[in-house]
A = this chain, B = another copy of it.
Amino acid sequence: MLPDTSLQNHLDISHIRSSCASCSLRELCLPVGLNEHEIQVLGDVVSHKRKIQRGGYLHRAGAKFQSLFAIRSGFLKTCVLEQDGRQQVTGFHMTGELLGLDAISTDTHTCDAVALEDSEVCEIPFAKLEEISRIIPSLMRHFHKMMSREIVRDHGVMLLLGSMKAEERLATFLLNLSRRFLVRGYSESDFNLRMTREEIGSYLGLKLETVSRAFSKLQDENIITVDNKHIRINDIARLRMKMGNSSCIT
């Protein structure tokens, strides 16, 4: 199913007046290793904030690409929608991560990006980013590393989808989430999932019932405690064992 034409409105941010010059740039992924002046330059580029309500679209597949989006807060999924209505989730994304890298290749977004909770993003006009990255080599270098990291991440998911069993996949998924929460200052062992079992299943190449059973199995073994969307990891070491000895999904 192709997106309708009205979706362009979703990218129209002209009505938004940013109140913050740099959109809390320091919280973003980009300015790593930049000096004050460089952050100032970058801040002039990343001037537009945008809020997306839970369930709202940041962009849809087929939309013209103009900007990358840095997530300031919230939680989003990216997915492709197939003709029969099924969706394949290609990733879950949280604060500090960069969305839209896939769209650079054809100047068209190749997936939908949907907020799984109220979210806020900073818009980064890509042409401007390329422009100033010529002036600030460390920014260019960092941007290249971020694109490369996305490739490495995808290879990890390919390994997971191509060779892991259901329980291994779920363990890997939970540990990945756990680590990302930890890095952001949240508990690594106690968190709420923002996505449904079906979305997890889509991401992991499993049916929702299989995901549910895998949760129950891990709970029966006292490795985790599941209460609907709330997860507590009781024994992270044993959860790592479940994953097998792989370091994939970064």
Q: Which residues of A are in contact with B by a Cβ distance under 8 Å? A: 1, 5-6, 80-84, 86-88, 90, 101-106, 110-111, 130, 133-134, 137, 140-141, 144-152, 154-155, 157-159, 161-163, 202-205, 244-248
Contact = CB atoms under 8 A, between A and B. Distances in A.
Nearest to A135: B134
A90 to B, nearest CB: 5
Contacts of A80: 1, 155, 159, 247-248
A244 B84 CA distance: 8
Contact of A148 (B86, B105, B140, B161): B105
A128 to B, nearest CB: 13
A86 to B, nearest CB: 5
Contacts of A130: 137, 140-141, 144
B247 A102 contact: no
Given A130-B141, A152-B105, A83 B246 contact: yes
27 contacts: A1-B80, A81-B247, A82-B248, A84-B244, A86-B246, A88-B155, A88-B159, A88-B162, A90-B158, A102-B152, A102-B155, A104-B144, A104-B147, A105-B145, A105-B148, A110-B155, A130-B141, A130-B144, A134-B140, A150-B151, A151-B151, A151-B154, A154-B155, A154-B157, A157-B158, A162-B202, A162-B204
A203 B81 CA distance: 22
A105 B1 contact: no
Contacts of A140: 130, 133-134, 140
